[in-house]
Homo-oligomer: A and B are copies of this chain.
Amino acid sequence: MMNTQIILANRPVGVPGPEHFERREVPVGKPGEGDVLIRVTHWSVDPAMRGWANDVPNYSPPVALGDPMRSFGVGEVLESRHPDYTEGDVVHGLFGWQTHKISDGSEISRKVTETDLPRSYALGIMGLNGVTAYFGLRESCAAKAGDTVVVSTGAGAVGSAVGQIAKIMGCRTVGIAGGAEKRRACIEDFGYGAAIDYKSQDVGGALAEACPDGVDCYFDNTCGPISDAVMEHLALGARITICGTAAVTDWNPTPMGPRVHRQLLVARARMQGFLAFDYADRTEEALAALAGWLREGELTVREHFLDGPEAAMDAIGMLYRGENTGKLIVRV
């Protein structure tokens, strides 16, 4: 039995593309005492993977050349010699881009028990994306009913969850996304009160119209010119959550932008970096809420599937080019 891997073959600067990866087939080993053998069926594609592939200081060490690309995945247990897992269990974890993973359990983040929902949800709304949206909005942004909440990448995997949770919480929601189709999705699929297409609209003017009382919460996945425009419209006491920086592909050297100090001072606003891992001990709380909303039909999820291992090689590039139409997942 062979394990198909997509390995990091060259160190990228910026967004990794097909030229940085290679397909490799290696024999699937035998799980030792205490191990489980997992057939990984779905690989996740997330913006943070750009940082994992680059050799720059980050909140995770870079992936070693020759290793399967680091990624979250979901799969089922084929064989277990671990007391906590049984054949047939569905598990989620940091399994990398490979079809088979032998783990001592340390890479498994959780057993997927909500078997009434699609397994792939564990990579998105019932995984890091949903948990990120939940805590980023409720804790870091400290959103409350009546707030005007602006979300960049408003139709994205995290952003669409932020917008919908904010609406459930009683906030006014404004989504920013690129292109007419994503703008349509913001309004029609994800229920934003207003949506802005940054590719065809003047973001500043559209924000002034959509947020007459200013922006209370800005959930930022982009950095760059979109964020610069939002910063011009802060309400007093605004909270800005920096969750991602998709518009900036290279941080070496640090790119320049308008200084935010005076905007923060005048609005007594706060700007805060956010990583869902810091709320790991409260994951169950978020998953229970998300599963409840999904079952009640209050959360709409869009997934974009690619098929076969080779499709992974350009998948991070697709994300950064904005070509995906939902949570990007490789089925293998």
- A→B interface (CB under 8 Å): 57-59, 220, 223, 227, 242-245, 248, 251, 254-275, 278
* A273 close to B268 (CB less than 8 A): yes
Within the complex, the shortest CB–CB distance from A150 to chain B, in Å, comes to: 16
Tell me, in angstroms, the Cα distance from A270 to B278 when the chains sit together.
Answer: 14
**CA gap between A244 and B262 in the complex, in Å:** 8
Q: Which residues of B contact A263 (CB under 8 A)?
A: 273
Given contacts A245-B261, A258-B255, A261-B242, is CB(A272)–CB(B270) below 8 Å? yes
Q: Of B243, B256, B272, which is within 8 A of A256 by CB? A: B256
Q: Roughly how many angstroms separate A248 CA and B244 CA in the complex, as a whole number? A: 28
In the bound assembly, the distance between CA atoms of A243 and B258 in angstroms comes to: 18
Contact, CB under 8 Å: A259 / B223: yes
Residue of B nearest to A267 (CB): B273
Q: How distant is the Cα of A271 from the Cα of B227 in the complex, in angstroms?
A: 15
| Distance A274 CA – B272 CA, assembled complex (angstroms) | 15
Chain B residues with CB under 8 A of A58: 266
Contacts of A262 in B (CB 8 A): 223, 245, 248, 251, 254
Contact present for B268 and A274 (CB under 8 Å): yes
Closest 4 CB pairs of A and B: A264-B273, A265-B273, A270-B272, A254-B258
Question: Is the CB–CB distance between A265 and B274 below 8 Å?
Answer: yes
A258-B256, A262-B251 known; A272 vs B269 contact (CB < 8 Å) = yes
Q: How far is the CA of A270 from the CA of B140 in the complex (A)?
A: 10
What's the Cα separation between A266 and B48 when bound, in Å?
12
What are 22 A-B contacts defined by CB distance under 8 Å?
A58-B266, A59-B265, A220-B261, A242-B264, A242-B265, A248-B259, A248-B261, A248-B262, A251-B262, A254-B258, A254-B262, A256-B256, A257-B258, A264-B271, A265-B274, A267-B273, A268-B273, A268-B275, A268-B278, A269-B273, A270-B270, A271-B272
Q: Is there contact, CB below 8 Å, between B254 and A256?
A: no
B residues in contact with A223, CB < 8 Å: 259, 261-262
